[in-house]
Amino acid sequence: MPLLLRALSPLAVALSVLYASTSPAFAQAGDAAMRCAELNSFTLSANAITLPTSGARVTSATFVASDDTANQKGEFCRVLGETSPVDPQAPKILWQVNLPTSWNGKLLQYGGGGYNGSIPPTTEKTTLGLDVVPTPLEQGYVTFGSDSGHQAPNADDASFGKNDEAMLNYGYMHIRKTLDVAKALVERRYAKPIRRVYYQGGSTGGREGLTAASRWPDAYDGILTNYPTANFVGLRLWGAGLARAIYDDKSAGWIPPKLVETIAKDAIASCDALDGAKDGLISDASGCRKQSAALVEKLACKAGESGNPENCLTNAQIDRTLKIYHDGYALPYPLANGIDSYPGYNSLEGILMQLGSEPQMRNPPVSGPNAHHSSRAFEFLQNFVARGQPLDLLSFDTRDPGKFKDRIVELSGIIGAPQTDWSAFADKGGKIIWLQGTDDPSVSPYGNAKLYEAIVAKMGREKAAAFLRFYLVPGLAHGGGRFSPAWDNLTALDNWVENGVPPVNPIVMDATKSDTRGRTRPLCEYPSWPKYKGTGDMSQAASFTCARD
């Protein structure tokens, strides 16, 4: 290289950097990256958080550039941090807040799953959202969530429940504590006010959304709740009752997987055409439920049969396991909000009961080899109720829990969202879109339907309809199932909150990984369901109407 060019090279580099830094795109990216880096020193005092903590701090703030250098879509600051407990023996709350460079003025909080223990995927789509729609973060939402106040390798671990502060954080406190941190970060990063705050999630995340709106109605504007564990304690007691039904008397009530599959196959064949369409979906769930007794009688062992893993049901399997699975249970004492029962499931209507692959219960029970709900019930009773005292699940009586009764009732008011009067949330303009699947083996579809009916009875149908939409979706399980409805649910919620336009029988697409993927159906407001018109393509929503009979 000639001497003159070598001498000019540093100048040329400097000029090129100066030129680039003065271009609008470079300046904005550089400014956003700088503002992101500044958050590494962010701390929040305890008195700035609504509920008791020892303060919060950022542990890392990382600028994530957009793949498209021509605009800022997808560009954000990933902020990780921790909120310290009051009790030094309690775990910290770990959280993530994503701050988009182009912010739309709205926040979206993500809920977790199971017993939590990890930060939810806050950069991904909403629960049951469409893959083809930009993620909320790409749309300009500040997205955030937390691990609910403890760290665990999987969502089945409830050992944190022995600590009071960790248990309260899981029950409800982490929701508001994390919101307060997110709002403080937003205030530091942007020079404009927050317009809306939404919550979205499924299962535990669905319960958290309802909890957020019920406990802090002024702090939230809209909730997307999918198959929520609203009656959390009632569900756990149901799991304990199921364990007794299956494993008592040397596991006389256990139903082998092959026979469970036979029940599902026969139920589909029996009920599929009740909605006018033989399409593998049981839309007329109530009609199918009425013929359950006939299906049980058909599968019952006849005289001389001792029971076979593939073709018949014994008296113990029918009178104990299927009874609690299909009919639920009642308690002689009330839980929070007067709830004293837990309805059953569609155990004879096409779902595969999660009764475990092994006839003997392990100690402690393990979901998969053992009934899924027996594992979740044991974790709850051992850690939240007995607090480390020895507990034998097969000696526990849900109707007469003895010394544990008061603790169980107390917990039902801490963990769950069973309230029926939503006036405070409704009067300030809050909205809720609630989906529950008929094929859900983890949360009773009839339990959530019963809670919705109680809300309508308490508030009146007109007032309930002004803020709440409840959909009982045929074929939807606990995520997945034979029909997994995907739709632009966040836009629907935002449009209702912002413009007063509620969703009216929106069209949803089947997102299952099966040969029916892509078919569409209307979301029908409960108690209506999709009924085939008698003509037209069964894979298209236009061929169905929302019916009640």
By annotation, the residues acting in catalysis are 203, 440, 478
Query: Between helices 372-380 and 232-251, what is the axis angle to 10°?
Result: 120
Tell me which H or E stretch contains 55. Answer: none
At residue 96's C-alpha, the angle toward residues 142 and 183, to 5°, is 50
Helix axes 232-251, 405-414, angle to 10 degrees: 140
Q: Would you call the peptide bond into 369 cis, given omega within 30 degrees of 0 as the criterion?
A: no
Q: Which helix (H) or strand (E) holds 372?
A: helix 372-380
Q: Report the candidate in 91, 79, 89, 88 with the shortest Cα–Cα distance to residue 44.
A: 79
Cβ atoms 335, 408 nearer than 8 A: yes
Name the residue among 509, 343, 342, 351 with its Cα closest to residue 440.
351
- Closest among 235, 275, 158 to 446, alpha carbons compared: 235
Residue (of 435, 451, 452) closest to 487 by Cα position: 435
Which residues, listed in sequence order, are joined to residue 82 by a DSSP beta bridge?
57, 94
- Between the alpha carbon of residue 294 and those of residues 282, 322, 475, the distances in Å are 17, 13, 22
> Distance (Å, rounded) from C-alpha 222 to C-alpha 107?
10
Start-to-end C-alpha separation, the chain? 86
295, 270 Cβ separation under 8 angstroms: yes
- For residue 502, the SS3 value is coil
Would you say 260 and 355 are in contact if contact means Cβ atoms under 8 Å apart?
A: yes
- Strand-strand pairing, 142-146 and 106-110: parallel
Two structure tokens written together for 490: 């966040």
Contact (Cβ atoms closer than 8 angstroms) between residue 72 and residue 28: yes
Contacts of 107 (CB under 8 A, 6+ apart): 141, 142, 143, 144, 179, 182, 183, 186, 194, 196, 197, 198
CB 77 within 8 A of CB 32: yes
Query: What is d(CA 452, CA 446) in angstroms, rounded to the nearest whole number?
Result: 10
